[in-house]
Amino acid sequence: MDKDEYKKLVKEMSPKEPKFRKAVIAFAVGGFVAFLGQVVATILQLSFAIEEATSYIWLCIFTIFISSFLTALGFFDNWVSKCGCGLIIPTTGFAHSMTSSALDVKKDGLITGLGSSFFKLAGSVLLYGIIAGFFLGILGVIVYG
């Protein structure tokens, strides 16, 4: 049996991932998180007389704190494996990836561990986010002047 035949056999024997079901769950969970965010932002705007733009900054800070806190308590990862990417695509995912990396290396030294591994997962989001922002900025200047 050659490698291609073997790959075919492995594909046949490995169970198919329920992609559609996972997508629906991720969509629902992601939507629900966004809905909660909107509720909090609206409360901030109406009850605390905070401007709309500022309220979203506050919301961002809340989301980062809550997801980091839940990561530290140790059950956020279980939720993510159940809810799929609905929980990790928004700001929550970014905070979660940094907190989990930090927890992992907290005993490996402040420089050799925490300092160098803090952005292990989030680093690629930052790098490609900044690069995409740069090019979109140029595009924006060209299109809108």
Partner 1 sequence: MASKKVNNVYLKDAFSLAGPLEARGAIKDYDIIMNDYYYHEKTFEQAEIKMQKVVIENILRKYNLTPSAIDFMVAGDLSNQTSVSSYAASIYKIPFMGVYSACASFVESLIVASLLLESKRKGLALCVTSSHNLHAEKQFRFPVEYGAPKPHTTTFTATGAIATLVTKEISKIKLESYTIGTVMEMGIKDATNMGAVMAPAAAKVLVDHLVDTNRTVDYYDLILTGDLGCIGSKILKEYLKEAYNIRLKNHLDAGCELYLKSQETYAGASGPAALPLYLFNRILKQNKYKKILIIGTGSLHNVLFVNQKLPIPAIAHAVSLEVQ
* β strands within the chain, DSSP E: none
- Between CA 40 and CA 43 the distance in angstroms is 5
Half-sphere exposure of 112 (CA within 13 A, CB side): 3
Between residues 1 and 141, which has the closer beta carbon with respect to partner 1? 1
CB of 106 to partner 1, least distance (A): 9
Cα Rg of the chain, angstroms: 20
Between residues 46 and 127, which has the closer beta carbon with respect to partner 1? 127
Residues at the interface with partner 1 (CB under 8 A): 1, 3-4, 6-7, 9-10, 13-15, 17, 22, 71-72, 74, 76-81, 84-85, 87-88, 96-97, 99-101, 103-105, 107, 120-121
Side chain identity, residue 6: Y
Between residues 17 and 141, which has the closer beta carbon with respect to partner 1? 17
